[in-house]
């Protein structure tokens, strides 16, 4: 398992770095175009639930692919691997990073919040937890998850970026080099491990090297 974790981290460095570069480009556009924080907030609350759906789908499908575990176990693993890790990557880590830079930044955990979701009007916790349920259902009953990992990395990177610009206030341009590092770290460890390593932790049968290679490239079953 340790070898799998190290291989996952190594293989996804280029994807994560490219994602962080796109995040920096978006931040430059936001700064020079004077994009209001309301737009950044709407973008965050669009990307975050999409990230939750994708994480729940893939985590549940990988668990189902290699395990005969019970339905309740698949639901629990799919939920923790999506809402838990997506919240860590998209919100908690950016908040901690912003705090470390002495940026005035608010803390948000959307899956617990009762405030109205932007442009929908229903509570945020309903939307985020419903996104997890949708992803778990798809991953459990139809394990075709050939969604490129690059897409997952980009979703998480952009969600983390818009967390900064939606809930933080700072002179962003001088901070771009450190923001690049922060975006990289916010995505690299949580997202590169959540889809594959996290569900495999709960599987008794160790997947073969060929299975793991297939999973790395295709994210799921046939």
The arithmetic mean of pLDDT across residues 167-193, rounded, is: 85
User: What's the rounded Cα separation, in Å, for the pair 131 and 73?
Assistant: 18
Instruction: Using the predicted structure, report yes or no on whether residue 95 has a pLDDT greater than 50.
Output: yes
Residue 129's pLDDT is 96
**Which residues are registered as beta bridge partners of 168?**
105
Residue 221's pLDDT is 40
Q: Which helix (H) or strand (E) holds 61?
A: helix 37-66
């Amino acid at each position: 398992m340790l070898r799998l974790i190290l291989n996952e981290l190594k293989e996804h460095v280029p994807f994560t770095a490219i994602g962080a570069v796109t995040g920096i480009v978006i931040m430059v556009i936001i700064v020079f175009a004077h994009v209001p924080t309301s737009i950044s907030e709407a973008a965050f609350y669009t990307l975050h639930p999409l990230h939750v759906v994708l994480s729940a789908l893939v985590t549940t499908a990988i668990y189902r692919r290699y395990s005969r575990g019970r339905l309740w176990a698949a639901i629990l693993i799919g939920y923790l691997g999506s809402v838990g890790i997506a919240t860590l990557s998209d919100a908690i880590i950016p908040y901690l990073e912003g705090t470390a830079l002495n940026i005035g930044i608010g803390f948000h955990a959307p899956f617990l919040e009762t405030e109205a979701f932007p442009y929908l009007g229903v509570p945020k916790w309903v939307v985020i937890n419903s996104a997890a349920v949708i992803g778990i259902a798809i991953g459990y009953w139809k394990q075709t998850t050939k969604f490129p990992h690059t897409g997952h990395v980009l979703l998480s990177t952009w969600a983390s970026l818009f967390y900064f610009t939606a809930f933080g206030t700072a002179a962003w341009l001088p901070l771009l080099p450190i923001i690049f590092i922060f975006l990289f770290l916010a995505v690299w460890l949580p997202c590169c491990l959540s889809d594959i390593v996290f569900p495999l932790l709960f599987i008794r049968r160790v997947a073969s090297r060929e299975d793991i290679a297939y999973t790395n490239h295709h994210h799921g079953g046939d």
